[in-house]
Amino acid sequence: MSKLSSGPSIKIYNLVSNWIIFDNNKVKILSGKVDIGQHITTTLSIIASRELDISIDKIEVLNLTTKKSPDEGFTAGSLSVSHSGTAVKAASITFRNLFIEHVLSKFNVEIDDLNIENGIAKILGTNQFFSYWDFAQLDNYNDIKITEFIQNRIVPINPKKQPIKNKTITNIVTGNHKFIQDLDFPNMMHARVLRPLNYFSKLKYIDNKLILNLKNNNINVLIKGSFIAIIGSDEFEVIKALNKLKHSCEWENLENINNRNVFEMLSNNKKDSLLVKSGGEAFYEKIPDKHIYDDKNFITLNSEYTKPYIMHGSIGPSAACSIFQNNKLKIFTHSQGVYQTRGAICEALKVKEQDVEMIFMPSAGCYGHNGADDAAFEAGIISMTFPDKHILLKWTREDENCWEPYGSATLSKISGTLDLKGNIVYWSHETFADTFMTRPSKGGAHNFLSYKYINNDFQKRDQLPKTAPHMGIHRNLDPLYNFKKTRLVKNLVHNLPLRTSALRGLGAFGNILAIESFMNELAFTANIDPLTFRLNHLDDNRAKEVLINLKAQMDKSVLKKNNARGIAFARYKNSAAYCAVGIEISVSDNAEITLINSWISIDAGEIVYPEGIHSQLEGGLIQAASWTIYEQVEYDTRSILSKDWDEYKIIGFNNIPKINVSIIERIGDPFLGVGEVVAGPVSAAIANALFDLLGVRFKNLPFSKDKIKSELLK
């Protein structure tokens, strides 16, 4: 008997009918995870198709709706497949087993008398048959509990894997894939929000004559406190009105943005410091002093690594569509936490949960908490003032760049002590950042951007540090290496200048950059090659295997002259996929890093959809390379300066390396998520390659051409 790791989803939604609906000759899958470009809908279709042994064409994954989908929390943390996928797998196996048992007993036959094809069991030698849909019609279908621990199939599934179809791609390439921005309803109104000067601006004056003038031209202006929205039936006229009205407003600036060196602030500001222990949990305990080793028998190194604020930078600005009708609110959203955002909207708008339905619609990739939830709230407010019509609110590029919650700037102070044999005997890592956890949910309506402007509530709220293993700032602070003695400290720093929240990988990106760069610093000092040095400090065989496999993959091609390679490794959250990355770079004449070649060696347990894994890993590598080489949110005391793509450079087609993905598959093992596993190792691998190439250890992201140029001139 094999045990399927159950995950939280099945524990709460323990009925087959919570996940699978047999309807009209189709199999409809319900999921609490949303498709944000990671193609979870395709993965779930494949799982259901395999386990029910049914054509994938018959499977449809329904968009999440708070009316009937399971609440699986946020679509975050590389957990879509391990939560929803595991649940759909267990529900499908349970269903099929019970279906077969029922057929055997109903027709009083043996398994050999059955031929089951595409959901229909035929009794051989007779005209009798019975289908999945017949079984689902039986009274007890809705009461069937998922058997979460026995996952042996009474009849094995077809070993011949069906060809995988990515159901979304054909719609994408023909322009038929519907995004939330494409919604269209009869009499729909378009809306934009007029943003204040900065985070602490209160509306002082608005030109009422202009508002009247706009009204005469069928453009409405909604003002609530310092929140201003412009609504009209013609989208471009709304944009023009926004630009006109923007220049007529005066704002009282209650506070400037503090643009002192953020890394000094991370070090010096008021903070909550928690001790992180092996296993990755944080505790309110006295932080021990750093252990000091004598320098005769030991070598101690110290380093500091930084990462600036970076943005999600979705290509399609956030949007939402809402209608308020018969005292009920219906909101289409691309939030990654549809149920949670509904909770916060109900709190903010003082409406009951049963009166608010939220439905997920795809949008452009968002990679964490961007403006999606804010847009849903804002569309909700607007539609309550303009009932009976759909309101499609879109953020502008400037809204998206200047008002989204960024990924926090981070600082890692790290020390390591080597004995004379080159073993790490002591490891201290203090990590400093603002919160990564300001997604709105029940009790957290104040996390909506516009909440403060509507209520003119500019109160600063200190976040409380999260303590669960690998949450937020201390994600991947606990290294997978077998260091004898560690001192791990999480610092949630307060009074920092910019709005922050979850961005792909949360604290893991900065922490892994620091750990994996520092591992190379120590290896260099110990005069041991970086791969062997890592293997010497690992007990976990799967970790060792991805590293050894990485080397084998990299050894297949020759390192070119004037190039260098770096490697790095992590197991995201010490619980998702194991991932080792190698990168080959060169530095151009104008001091820019050129990405030449890359290798990803991955162990993600059992693989459902290899193309999906490739896609997530390739995308993760490219995005992380962009963070590493180019990205930094710029701001002055008045406002965010990175307001468009000219002012916030991201990677383009001109710097894309060859990407070689090698998957170590483990059939029967639990699914391990891959969405965020690659980012930290990518950044460190680039840093390590740079050191190899230039002999300079770059520690402060981004590794821009200006920084490299100034180092080379030294």
Where do contacts with other proteins occur on this chain (CB under 8 A)? 36-39, 166, 168-179, 181-182, 184, 217, 234-237, 239-240, 312-317, 362-365, 367, 394, 396-397, 611, 614-615, 618-623, 626, 644-646, 650-654, 656-659
Instruction: List, in sequence order, every beta strand (DSSP E) within 242-390.
Output: 250-253, 271-276, 282-283, 298-307, 319-325, 328-333, 356-360
Question: Quick check: 458 and 452 in contact, CB under 8 A?
Answer: yes
Residue 211 beta carbon to other proteins: minimum distance, rounded to whole angstroms: 15
* Residue 423: Cβ within 10 Å count: 17
Least Å distance between CB 614 and other proteins? 8
> Measured from the CB of residue 415, what is the shortest distance to other proteins in angstroms?
34
Kindly state the DSSP code that residue 82 receives in the 8-state scheme.
I
> Nearest approach, Cβ of 135 to other proteins (angstroms)?
35
> 688 and 585 in contact (C-beta within 8 Å)?
no
Interatomic CA distance for residues 337 and 64, integer angstroms: 10
Which residue has tokens 């996952």? 151
Compute the least distance from the CB of residue 235 to other proteins, in Å. Answer: 6
Q: What's the closest the beta carbon of residue 46 comes to other proteins, in angstroms?
A: 13
Smallest separation (angstroms) from other proteins to the CB of 604: 17
Contact predicate 599/579, CB 8 Å: no
- DSSP sequence for 19-36: TEEEETTEEEE--SS--S
Least distance (Å) from other proteins to the CB of residue 146? 31
Least Å distance between CB 568 and other proteins? 18
* Residue 660 phi, psi dihedral angles, 5° rounding: -110, 115
* Neighbouring residues of 549: CB distance < 8 A, sequence distance ≥ 6: 580, 601, 662, 664
Q: Residues 464, 465, 466, CA angle at the centre, nearest 5°?
A: 115
E-state strands within 126-171: 129-131
Residues in a beta bridge with 219: 232
Q: How far is CA 42 from CA 68, 148, 168, 416, 618, in A?
A: 20, 23, 8, 44, 18
Nearer to other proteins, 121 or 361 (CB): 361
Smaller CB distance to other proteins: residue 78 or 166? Answer: 166
Q: What is the dihedral of CA 85, 89, 92, 94, to 10 degrees?
A: -130
Closest CB to other proteins among 18 and 181? 181
Question: Residue 122 CB, nearest distance to other proteins (Å)?
Answer: 35
Residue 489 phi/psi, 5-degree rounding, is -130, 130
Count of H-run helices and E-run strands, the chain: 19, 25
Beta bridge partners of 22: 27
Beta carbon nearer to other proteins, 285 or 644: 644
Which CB, 156 or 186, lies closer to other proteins? 186
- Closest to other proteins by CB, 253 or 662: 662
Closer CB to other proteins, 440 or 619, in the complex:
619
Residue 337 to residue 369: CA distance in whole angstroms: 9
Which residue, 201 or 601, is less far from other proteins as judged by CB? 601
- Of 447 and 626, which has the nearer Cβ to other proteins? 626
* Integer angstrom CA distances of residue 184 from 187, 275, 322, 497: 9, 51, 11, 38
- Cα separations in angstroms, 535 against 144, 235, 428, 526, 539: 48, 58, 20, 14, 8
Question: What are the C-alpha distances in Å from 195 to residues 122, 203, 216, 406, 536?
Answer: 64, 10, 23, 17, 54
Q: How far is the CB of 630 from other proteins (least distance, A)?
A: 12
User: What's the min distance (Å) between Cβ of 232 and other proteins?
Assistant: 11
Q: How far is the CB of 308 from other proteins (least distance, A)?
A: 18
Considering the complex, state which of residue 148 and residue 400 has its C-beta at the smaller distance from other proteins: 400
d(CA 338, CA 331): 10
The nearer residue to other proteins, 130 or 509, going by C-beta atoms, is: 509
CA 448 to chain centre: 19
Q: 342 Cβ partners below 8 Å, 6+ apart?
A: 66, 331, 353, 356, 358
Q: What is the nearest approach in angstroms of other proteins to the Cβ of residue 694?
A: 25
Q: Are strands 391-394 and 189-194 parallel, antiparallel or unpaired?
A: parallel
Phi, psi of 155 (to 5 degrees): -115, 125
Q: Which is nearer to other proteins, 176 or 527 (CB)?
A: 176
Report the relative pairing of strands 250-253 and 201-205 from DSSP bridges.
Answer: antiparallel
Q: In this structure, are residues 438 and 373 in contact, taking their beta carbons and an 8 Å threshold?
A: no
Q: Rounded to the nearest whole angstrom, what is the least distance from the CB of residue 36 to other proteins in the complex?
A: 7
**Of 512, 476, 534, which Cα lies nearest the Cα of 683?**
512
Minimum distance between the CB of residue 491 and other proteins, rounded to whole angstroms? 30
* 605 within 8 A of 666, measured Cβ to Cβ: yes
Task: Give kind and range of the element (H or E) at residue 80.
Answer: helix 80-80
Closest contact distance (angstroms) between CB of 613 and other proteins is 11
CA triple 274-279-283, angle to 5 deg: 20
Strands 593-603 and 658-663: parallel
231 vs 492, beta carbon nearer other proteins: 231
